[in-house]
Amino acid sequence: MNAPTVYEGWWEVPDGLLLASQLAAMDLPRIPGGEAAGIVHAENWHAHGRDDAFRLYRLAESLPSTASAAQLEAADAKRTRNRVYRCEECGAFSEQALPYYPLDDQLLKNITPRYLCRCCRHITRLTGYQAHYGARRAAAARWAAKMAASGAALAVHAAEVRPEGTTASGKRYPITGIAVLAFDIADGRKVFDAMVLRRPVKTGAKVKGQLDPEPGAAKLRAAIDGRTLIGWLAEDMEPLRPILAPNSGRHIALGQDAQTRVTDWRGDLDVRSGRLRGATSPGRPDRLALLIRRMAVGADRPGEDK
């Protein structure tokens, strides 16, 4: 006997797998006709929302319940008070009892609950989610417009540089310096491209693009000139901490990350999970600056960021 397939949520469960209670609640009730084919982990509403595991059975293997047509007809009056089979949106008659949808989905809180078939639930869910994420897209565009304003922000990437390999004792070589690349988001101009060394070296030992710690830090601060630093992820700016904020805690942000806002702006909705797919990194700060400028074009009110 094959082990039941495990599903981490209802969005993963394929058509044709139902709970025993769902089979029993069908317009013409049925019962499981075989072993459980799947297990879904979900909230148990009868246990105050506690997570639980529910057994799923194949509809194709199910059997008619023992109730006769006469018994079902006699129970119709009572049954219709508790179960609805006709969709209030399209009028289709479902084999399965319809849920009152939606109830607790915070992304659909402005939609009036109704008894809906699977198709109408899907459409309602997607249009509701699109409206929610549309508001987030507009906010991301307004943020981008602020960042793309003249003198407002830089797209940056910083990386620790150290020799490859290990020392004779097996330890990694110490960090040589921090390579920093920064572009003005407003016009795409490169404003900094150098490695700020950890320790001063003799002039003859330097290579092009290397700066001693204090002059390098001063030059970087001058290039920033009060502008907001934007990295794809917050950790992309962490190597700057020894240069820009050597005495600060790691909880203090050095700038703003762009990934969440770009994800909101792209609005690539996964129709099964209801979540946005994460946006792909542009790869370099000059491309990030270009992306933010593109986002800013769609801003409806550049002066606001709700």
Query: Is residue 87 within 8 Å of residue 116, measured between CB atoms?
Result: yes
Query: Is residue 114 within 8 Å of residue 99, measured between CB atoms?
Result: no
Give the E-state strand segments of the chain in sequence order: 5-7, 17-18, 30-31, 38-44, 50-58, 63-64, 100-101, 114-115, 153-161, 177-184, 190-197, 210-211, 228-231, 256-257
Domain locations in the chain as residue ranges: 1-78, 142-297
pTM as predicted: 0.72
Q: How confident is the model at residue 164 (pLDDT cuts 50, 70, 90)?
A: confident
pLDDT digits (tens, 9 = 90+) for 47-60: 565 778 999 999 99
Alpha-carbon gap, residue 92 to 121, rounded angstroms: 12
Question: What pLDDT is attached to residue 193?
Answer: 95
Residue 304 has pLDDT above 50, yes or no: no
Cα angle value 169/173/179 (rounded, 5°)? 175
User: Tokens for 38?
Assistant: 């799947």
pLDDT digits (tens, 9 = 90+) for 60-72: 999 999 999 988 8
CB contact burial 223-256 (16+ within 10 A = b; e otherwise): bbeebebbbbeeebbebbbbbbeeeeeeeeebbb
Sole residue written with tokens 């240069």: 243
Alpha-carbon gap, residue 88 to 95, rounded angstroms: 15
